[in-house]
Structures are given as structure tokens and as C-alpha cells.
Amino acid sequence: MTNPKATIDVVVLTMNDRPEPFKRAMESLLSQQDVELRVVIVGNGVEPDYVPDGVRTVVLPVNEGIPAGRNAGADALAEPDAAEFVFFLDNDAVLPTPDTLAQLVAVARCHPQAAYIQPRIADPDTGVTMRRWVPRLRTTDATRPGTVTVMAEGVVLIRRADYEQAGGWPGHFFLFHEGIDLSWRLWDLGRTGYYAPEIVIHHPATTPSRHADFYRLVARNRVWLAYRRLPAALVPVYLMTWTVLSIARIRSRTSLAVWFAGLMEGLKGGHGQRRPMTWGTVLRLARAGRPPIV
């Protein structure tokens, strides 16, 4: 007896600013085999200018940011019956083979304790996997599989039941660190994440600092993340660690000043509901190789 095809809700965001990469992404998605897909395109402040047949759309009147857009798309597909998995795909990422999603599902079946499965992301031209795409501290070997505690949120498969129980993405983050917030909440539910580098998805190698608000948002969201998810004793440790790392890493005085402005913005509030992880989760994360202070 053959197993039924996995059902996957797929959320893709667009701002109509990547017409050709977006079409390639959608073509690769809709060519997937041995899975049942329901796909939604979320227009973040725009009416999507490319919608293949059979694909739903959600139009947000203004750009509400990436995590809020992902939530809107996942919510739109939740009724009447949610799929087994929800897959989030950047609109410039390409699934290189028609069995990519089926392979991710197969890994999920082999690792039932994992709430999410992270494929390896690689530049299509060079094959390089950037350090920020490897969801662990030791990034020198991007081909080593195993349990991970964070995610590269632009291309990730999540069990829908776990996603719903965790409460989805932190929509008000707008951009940056929303994957850490969601990963920590999933771990706090007793779940884990799994990195499957043998499954490769193509994505252009870009630098996040190309975004105008990069330094402000990464600093602000670090503070929000700490206040939302960490036990009180770890909040200053986490923030001090990232302050020291940022001073060491950011070479431009102007950029560093913007970073500190974002830090102060976060300290003023706005982080939302505080639900700190248990000390048991802190221990589990540490045993998995990434204590929640770095």
C-alpha cells in the first residue's frame, strides 16, 4: 500500500519587483511532483502582476513586512482544511528538481520530532552556501546534516500543526530574526528542527545589508527577541553578547550608530507579548549546540 501524497500549503510573497526571478520560482514550484500543493501569492502592498492558474492571491493594502505577509498567506490557506505542511518560499528561490518538496517531506517523515526541515540554500551560479544560510553556529561545513535550533526562514518546510501551535511568525518584526523567534517557540513546545543539506534549493547570494533599514531592524529585533523569548536572567547576557559582536563586526561608524539607534528603539518597547522559554528549553538548545545567548 502506497502512502498518500503529502499536502503542502505554499506561501510566496511578492512586491512586483522581481518579475523574471518570480516567474522562475513559480514555475519550479508548480512543477513539483508526488505532493499535493495549495499555493497562495501574497501581494505585500501590491496587486500581484503574475498569478498562474490555480494559485490564490492575498492583497495587503500596504507592505506589512515579510513575517506578517507570510502569516497572511498561511492564514488564507488554513480553511477549511489545513495541509499537513506549510512551505515558505522566497520569490527569487528555485526548486531545482521536480521532487524537491517530496524529498523534504521524506526527511520530515524520517524525523518526526522535527517541527521544521531546513534544506541547504545555494547560489545557482557558484553553488556557494552563505554562512547566514547555515542554521547553526559552526558554518564551515554546509553539507553536515543534523538537528538545528534556528532556521533560514526564506525557504523552509514546517509542519502545519506545529506552526499553528507556535502562533506563526512575529508579524511586527517586519524583517530579520523572525525565524529565530519562531524556532525558539517550536523548541519550547518540545519540538526540534532538522537541517537536510542533501536537498538543495537555489537562491541568489545577496547580502542582507542591501536593505536600507538593515542595521536598525537587526538591532531592534534582537532586543525584541530577547524580551519576548528569554528568561529574565538571560536577557542582558544575550544583548551584551550581540552588542560586543556587532561592535567587532560593523566597520562603518555610520552603520554602527544606526545599529545603536535600533538597539535603543528596541529597549523603548514594542516587543509584544512576553512568553519566555523554560529553563528546560534553554538546556535543550544548549545541548543541541546553540545556547540562546548567541
Task: Provide CB contacts within 8 A for 3, sequence distance 6+.
Answer: none
**Options 1.10.1060.10, 3.90.550.10, 1.10.3720.10, 3.40.190.10; CATH of 6-206:** 3.90.550.10
Residue type, 209: S
Q: Are 22 and 92 in contact (CB under 8 A)?
A: yes
Angle at which helices 178-188 and 279-287 cross, to 10° = 110
Task: Provide CB contacts within 8 A for 199, sequence distance 6+.
Answer: 100, 103, 104, 107, 119, 120
Task: Provide CB contacts within 8 A for 110, sequence distance 6+.
Answer: none
How far, in Å, CA of 106 to CA of 53, rounded? 27
Q: Are 240 and 192 in contact (CB under 8 A)?
A: no
* 3-state DSSP assignment of residue 215: helix
Note down pLDDT in tens along the chain; length 294 residues.
456 889 999 999 999 999 999 999 999 999 999 999 999 999 999 999 999 999 999 999 999 999 999 999 999 999 878 899 999 999 999 999 999 999 999 999 999 999 999 999 999 999 999 999 999 988 889 999 999 999 999 999 999 999 999 999 999 999 999 999 999 999 999 999 999 999 999 999 887 767 779 999 999 999 999 999 999 999 999 999 999 999 999 989 999 999 999 999 999 999 999 999 999 999 999 999 999 998
Cα distance between the two ends of the chain:
47
How far, in Å, CA of 174 to CA of 281, rounded? 26
How far lies 40's CA from each of 78, 106, 145, 207, 255, in Å?
11, 23, 30, 27, 36
For the chain, the domains span: 6-206, 211-274
Angle at which helices 214-229 and 235-249 cross, to 10° = 160
Q: Where are the alpha helices (DSSP H) in 58-148?
A: 66-76, 100-110
